[in-house]
Structures are given as C-alpha cells and as structure tokens.
Structure 1
Amino acid sequence: MLKNIQEWILLFVIIGAMIIIGNWIGYDIMPLQAIPGIITLALISLAGLIIHRLIPSKKIPSIAYIGLLAFILTIPGFPGSEQIVTWTSEVNLLAITTPILAYAGISIGRSWADFVKLGWKTIIVGMFVLVGTYLGSAIIAEITLRIQGVI
C-alpha cells in the first residue's frame, strides 16, 4: 500500500501544479492564494483513497469516501470548516477538471486493448451521451435566459 500512496502523492503533485497554472492563467488567481486549497483537496482525496483501501468493501468506490469526507469536513460548525472552505474557494472548478480529464484520457490511451474490447457500440453510446448532455444544457440555458428576459 505504501507504493500506492507514493504514486498517489506524485500524481497529486503533478496535477496540483497543472491546477495552479490553469488557475493562474485562466482565472487570475495567484499561485500562493491557490496552494492551500490545492493541498487541502489533495489531502482529502488522499485520505479518501486510503480509507477505500483499508475498508474491504469493493462495492463502494473511492470517490464516495472522498465526497463523504469532504462533506463532513465542510459542515458548518465542524472545527476548521470555515478555513477549508476559504482555502478551496480560491481554486476554480474548471482549473481542476482540465488536468483530471487529461489524465483520464491518457489512462484510456494506455489501455487501447481494453477500450477495443468495449466495442463500437460504446463509441455510439458515448456520442449520444455527449450530444444529449450538450442539447440538454442548451435547452436549460435557453429556458433560463428567456425567463430572466436576457434574450
């Protein structure tokens, strides 16, 4: 498990650096402002991954532990919750998603054999999901903007 933790920490450092750069360039948030939030998010994620490894249930994904831990730590009244919220509010969500999606793409790219096993139907389903998500978002935006009188 120590090797996994070392790999996770290295991954968090690399992704954290990418988030700092994206946060700085895209959202004008200085790196020193974002570092505490990135470290906090990385520590919560690391703790969730460790909990996932320690608890033998394989039915619960690690993201559930990470989300639950983050939820508990940010409950108003929980010691330090205000500070955690302050730190993490300096990290823009889109600055986080870009490197994570890039990592997911690289992970899929490394295992093309597994991707090919999924078959051509997966590509069609994926295209429908993307188109449906885009159209759904566009329709909701259109309705919301018309209600507000913007368009």
Structure 2
Amino acid sequence: MLKSIQEWVVLFIIVSLLVLVGNWIGYEVMPLAALPGLLVLVGLGLIGLIIHKALPFKKIPSVAYIGILGFIITIPGMPFQEKIVEWTAQVNLLAIATPILAYAGISIGRSWTDFAKLGWKTIIIGMCVLIGSYLGSAIIAEIILRIQGVI
C-alpha cells in the first residue's frame, strides 16, 4: 500500500501544479491564494484513496469516500467548515478538470510510450474532436441562451 500512496502523492503533486497554473492563467487566482484550498482537496483525495484501499469493500468506488469526506467536513457547524469552504472556493472546477482529463486521456493508452506510438495523426484527430465538441457545445449554448433571452 505504501507504493500506491507514493504514486498517488506524485500524481497529486503534478496535477496540483497544473491546477495552480490553470487557475492562475484562466481565472486570475494567484497560486498562493488557491494553495490552501488545493491542499484541502488533495488531502481529501488522498484520504479517500487510502480508505478505499484499506477497507475490504471494493465495490464502493474511492470517489464515494472522497465525496462523503468532503460533505462531512463542509457541514455547517463542523470545525473549520467556513475556512475550508473559503479556501476551496478559490480553486475553479475547470482548472481541476483540465489536467485530470488530460491525464485520463493519456492513461487510456496506459503509458506515454504507447501514446507516442499512436502517431501524430491521432493528435490531429483528437484536436479535431475537441474543437468539434467545443464548437458544438458553444452553438447549442448560444441557441438556448438566445431562446431564453439571456443574450
């Protein structure tokens, strides 16, 4: 289990650095302002993964433990609840999702070498898919917002 924890910590450090940069560039939140909230989120993730690994109930996903822990520590009246909510509010959801989804996409191939073997054509196809998804979502959002009279 120690090896798994070490791997998780390394992964959390890499993702955290990317989240801090993305939060800073995309949402103009200074890294030092977002750091306490990010540390809380990383701590929750790490504790949830450790609980999942330690308990014999393997049918319950680790994200359930993480969600329950997050829910518990933010219940009004819990110690430090207000501070935790204040800190985590500085970390934008999309700044978190971007590096995690990038890692998930790459890990589908199981390794960077497998990803590299797919070739440059795969990168172009992936970019076209992403651009198409973005444009499709933007067009749908534009239509819906115009129908609702928001814009």
Judge same fold: TM > 0.5, yes or no.
yes
- Give the match for residue 146 of structure 1: 147
The alignment status of 1:19 with 2:22, answered yes or no, reads no
Distance change >3 Å, CA 75–CA 140, structure 1 → 2: farther
The two structures, once aligned, show a CA RMSD in angstroms of 2.2
- Residue identity in the other structure for 1:71: F
Correspondence 1:80-91 to 2 at 5 A: 80-91=80-91
Q: Within 2, Cα distance between the matches of 1:56 and 1:49?
A: 13
Q: CA deviation at 1:26?
A: 0.7
1:4 corresponds to which letter in structure 2? Answer: S
TM-score normalised by the chain length of structure 1: 0.77
Provide the C-alpha distance between the structure 2 equivalents of 1:64 and 1:47, rounded to a whole number of angstroms: 12
Q: Counterparts of 1:33-48 in structure 2 under 5 Å? A: 33-48=33-48
Q: Distance in 2 between matches of 1:141 and 1:63?
A: 33
Shift of 1:109: 1.6
Take 1:3 and 1:32, find their aligned partners in 2: how far apart are those partners? Answer: 30
Q: How far apart are 1:142 and its partner, in Å?
A: 4.3
Q: Tell me the percent identity.
A: 59
Runs of 5+ in structure 2 lacking a partner? 115-128
Give per-residue Cα distances to partners, 1:103-135, cap 9 Å, x unaligned: 1011102277xxxxxxxxxxxxxx9xx97xx67
Matched with 1:64 is 64
Total equivalences in the alignment: 131
Matches within 5 A, 1:5-16: 5-16=5-16
- Structure 1 residue runs of 5 or longer lacking an equivalent are 113-126
For residues 63-115 of structure 1, the C-alpha deviation after alignment (integer angstroms, 9 at most, x for no partner) is: 00001110111111111111110110000110000000011011102277xxx
TM-score, normalised via structure 2 length: 0.77
Instruction: Give the equivalent residue in structure 1 for 2:105.
Output: 105
